[in-house]
Amino acid sequence: MPGKLKSRIEEDVRATMRARDKPRLGTLRMVTAAIKQREIDHQTTLDDIGVVSVLETMRKQRRDAHTQFVDAGRTDLAEQEAFEISIIESYLPEPLGEEELATLINAAVKDTGAAAMKDMGRVMGALKDTVQGRADMGQVSALVKARLT
């Protein structure tokens, strides 16, 4: 059963086609193609968590490309990437604030009984489902590492 997020994206593709908004339509089609590719690769139908994972990957790719285009002085392509990022982010859950994230990390450390760096994997495992799609896992990892050292 497809998740609500996937259905919402598919509905938005149809609405965007009716509105003849070609730039937005192109981005939404890239998103649906990436979702379908992940479904084919894993031979399953993605739920909302899987769709969020695809969207996070796409956002990260676009951010990297945006940075490279800015460094190369290609503002036209950088603007296109920024536009695509804004559309992709509109489907991602509301990001966690720093205070919320710190509270979740402290709770996970307490719940897992983590005391040293060797326990970082358990803490990250406990946090993954809660923060996935709402925070950059690289940032979360750095904060957990700082908390455990």
Q: Which domains does the chain have, with CATH numbers?
A: 4-89 (1.10.1510.10), 98-148 (1.10.10.410)
pLDDT score recorded for residue 1? 47
Mean pLDDT of the chain: 90
Residues 114-137: pLDDT tens digits? 788 888 888 888 888 788 778 888
Please give the Cα distance from 23 to 10 (Å, whole number): 16
Give me the amino acid identity at 7: S
pLDDT score recorded for residue 112? 85
pLDDT of 9 strictly over 70:
yes
pLDDT of 27 strictly over 80:
yes
Least Cα distance to 95 among 146, 145, 38, 55 occurs for 55
Given a contact cutoff of 8 angstroms between Cβ atoms, the answer to whether 105 and 120 are in contact is no
Assign residue 82 a region (left: φ > 0; alpha: ψ between -120 and 50; beta: otherwise): alpha
**Residue 105's CB: how many other CB atoms inside 10 A?**
23
Higher pLDDT, 28 or 53: 28
